[in-house]
Structure 1
Amino acid sequence: MESLPPYALKLVAAMAFMGYTLGSVPFGMLLTNLAGAGDLRKIGSGNIGATNVLRTGRKDLAAATLLLDAAKGFLAVAIAWIMTPPDFSDRTVTVAALAAVVGHCYPIFLGFKGGKGVATGLGAMLALSPLTGLAGCATWLSVAKLTRISSAGALAAFIIMPVVLLALYGFSFQASPKPLAAVLISVLVIARHHENIVRIFSGKEPRIGEKKP
């Protein structure tokens, strides 16, 4: 691919900053605090995502957190696409998508201690490639329903999505940076689940609706 002109590099940097800042907004904490449900970081796993919000007993807050966290990823990509000329929009939207997930996982507003990036990653993937995002959502829901383990569904989804996106682009990183972004996002999300992976294999991962000891 040709190198970007200087103004384009500045725009890419701006979209990365936008994506990261948007991704850093801790909707789970904001909603639980406003609703008087307590400090989310002191409940269950201490995670700021929807699964931990569910442990407060507030299904409505958990659903709202899931939607808003997904919206962060989707909006980051949508804004980058709107703000970028078509000749290099693929690059800016992929940077914005990755930045949004990084922002959720390492939010500046919470001392870089955030969530695991599942909902934000799914939202970003839906915007980058609707077919890939839908495949990820279907996989997540199916595996989570079958196993009653949310993290198992998330891990399965982020294994499937890079494969789907690579298949759409002929298993090539040359046609578009989107498959590379999908791989990087998936690696980050899976790495953030390292403790869940250990618990899954040891049979100690909490089921959906159970309170984590």
Structure 2
Amino acid sequence: MDWLLALLAGYFIGSVPFGLLLAKAAGQGDIRQIGSGNIGATNVLRTGNKKLAALVLLLDLGKGFLAVMIAWHLWPAMAGFAAVGAVLGHCFPVWLRFKGGKGVATTAGVCFGLFWQIGLAFAAVWLGMLAITRISSAGGISAVIAAPIAAWLLGEPEFVPYLAFIGLVVLWLHRANIRRLLAGEEPKVGSKS
């Protein structure tokens, strides 16, 4: 049952909706009523508060990392389940009727927790694609695709199934972004649309 404990622990850590809580605390109202309605850092950025968005990004990343670190200490062989749980918790939090964020920052956190070199590869692809395109979703989508590949290339094949599953979840949640990317209609970071 260790796998289930790790999964549930990851889920409840990942389900803390930092974007929603911090936006309300900062007087920005309900972030779900702004922009895309998402509780993640990209939508918090649409409030115009860059520092708040950066804090949400770090906390969403941090909860993914924390979930995996706790699993390493309590259930060492089950860290992958904690990683999956953390991303599922962020994307489908029970507290918000299973409507959460899209999981990119939390995935970055679990990558760093599983094997820091995978986290570096994730960050490099994410930030590199963001710098090239100035499109947040393009960076995130590219990074979640790169994560299981990086795990394989770095000699950590045991993490590939977990990261591949997480990648599929994140890609599914980005399906509207993918359609807009293909149509050339996805907004760039800082644009008003």
Sort the TM-score into its range (normalised by shorter chain).
over 0.9
Shift of 1:202: 0.9
Distance 1:16 1:147 in 2: 35
The amino acid that maps onto 1:155 is I
Distance 1:79 1:21 in 2: 12
Shift of 1:190: 1.0
Distance 1:184 1:58 in 2: 33
Is 1:101 equivalent to 2:87 in the alignment?
A: yes
Q: 1:39-91 CA distances to partner (integer Å, 9 max, x unpaired)?
A: 1001000000000000000001100000000011100000011112xxxx23x
Is 1:68 equivalent to 2:30 in the alignment?
A: no
The amino acid that maps onto 2:44 is V
Q: 1:90-123 CA distances to partner (integer Å, 9 max, x unpaired)?
A: 3x10000000000111001100001100000110
Partner of 2:10: helix, strand, or coil? helix
Is 1:166 equivalent to 2:152 in the alignment?
A: yes
Distance 1:62 1:141 in 2: 16
In the TM superposition, structure 1's runs of 4+ consecutive aligned residues that sit over 6 Å from their partners are: none
- Matched residue, 1:185: 166
Is 1:146 equivalent to 2:132 in the alignment?
A: yes
Distance 1:64 1:168 in 2: 30
Note if contact 1:55-1:210 (Cα within 8 Å) is conserved in structure 2: no
- Matched residue, 1:37: 28
The alignment-based identity, stated in percent, is: 49
- Matched residue, 2:96: 110
Shift of 1:211: 3.1
- Matched residue, 1:211: 192
Shift of 1:30: 0.3
Is 1:56 equivalent to 2:47 in the alignment?
A: yes
TM-score normalised by the chain length of structure 1: 0.88
Shift of 1:145: 1.0
TM-score normalised by the chain length of structure 2: 0.97
Is 1:132 equivalent to 2:118 in the alignment?
A: yes
Shift of 1:12: 2.3
Distance 1:161 1:117 in 2: 13
- Matched residue, 2:141: 155
Distance 2:153 2:123 in 1: 17
**Of the two, which has the highest radius of gyration?**
1
The amino acid that maps onto 1:205 is E
Note if contact 1:47-1:114 (Cα within 8 Å) is conserved in structure 2: yes
The amino acid that maps onto 2:165 is L
Shift of 1:200: 0.7
- Which blocks of at least 5 consecutive residues in structure 2 are unaligned? none
The amino acid that maps onto 2:98 is F
